[in-house]
Amino acid sequence: MTLYQPFLDHAISYIKLRLDLAPYPIPREFESKSAIVGKGKNQETVVTSSYAFRTPKLRQIRAAHVQGGKALQVLNFVIFPQLNYDLPFFGADLVTLPGGNLIALDMQPLFRDEAKYRAKYTEPILPMFHAYHERLSWGGDFPEEAQLFFSPAFLWSRPKETRIVETIVFEAFRDYLQAYLDFAEQAEPVKDPHNLQAIKEAQLQYTRYRADKDPARGMFKRFYGEEWTEEYIHGFLFDLERSLSSVS
């Protein structure tokens, strides 16, 4: 069992329990990709597995799980709502590299500076955020331009011990996901054309940013090459732009 497998297993069984899921098509070359990296005794097989679903309210619920031995484990799990809902994005970036663990967990807002939006989607989860924030030390600096996309409930930590990831981070992940599905359950479709346009622009801005600045790009390029990596980023991980320009 690898470090983030229980997170992935929980997420999938929990969304199956609460949502009426349909499959989200994944291009074949992305379902599972592997490469052998390193030399001699340090050789490791790095496998990246992809999972994706959709529901009437959630355009894409997707996970990328990278498993490359004890020192290389990543779970990136993101939920992109349909464009006629004002729901935030659910974003989890759980990363273990030779340099340590890096945990990012948030409900990333569409409209960061609107008090009404904040009251609807951030304030209700602040007590939960504060409880975990006290138990996990703050992760320090992160790219300034990324700050635009995080909420005040952004949980950001670099836990030194794996045990912390297995316990506190796992608990936080489950609680954030539960709170997100509560929001999704209550969400009503947006009808106003002006608001719909604003949602579309905010979703595009977010997905473009994440595709452009994907911190995993370097790693994926080293393992699987440039062509596969760019396709994976634009055709699966952050595919909104492509999905809008296709006819379906």
Residues near ligand DBV (CB under 6 A) are 64, 74, 76, 91, 93, 95, 97, 102, 104, 108, 142-143, 146, 149, 210, 214-216, 219, 237
Residues 49, 20: Cα–Cα separation, whole Å: 23
In the complex, least distance from residue 20 CB atom to ligand DBV, rounded to whole angstroms: 26
**55 or 73: whose CB is closer to ligand DBV?**
73
Q: How far is the CB of 95 from ligand DBV (least distance, A)?
A: 4
* Smallest distance, ligand DBV to C-beta of residue 228, A: 13
Closer to ligand DBV by Cβ: residue 90 or 183:
90
Backbone angles phi, psi at 76, to 5 degrees: -110, 115
Least separation in angstroms between CB 77 and ligand DBV: 9
Choice between 181 and 219, CB closer to ligand DBV? 219
How many CA atoms lie less than 13 Å away from 49 in the CB half-sphere?
10
DSSP 28-54: HHHHEEEEEES-GGG-EEEEEEEEEEE
Q: Tell me how far, at minimum, the Cβ of 153 lies from ligand DBV, in Å.
A: 13
Report the C-alpha dihedral over residues 103, 231, 220, 49, rounded to 10 degrees.
70
Q: Is residue 107 within 8 Å of residue 88, measured between CB atoms? A: yes
216/240 with CB nearer ligand DBV: 216
SS3 190: coil
Residue 1 burial (CB < 10 Å; 0-12/13-18/19+)?
exposed
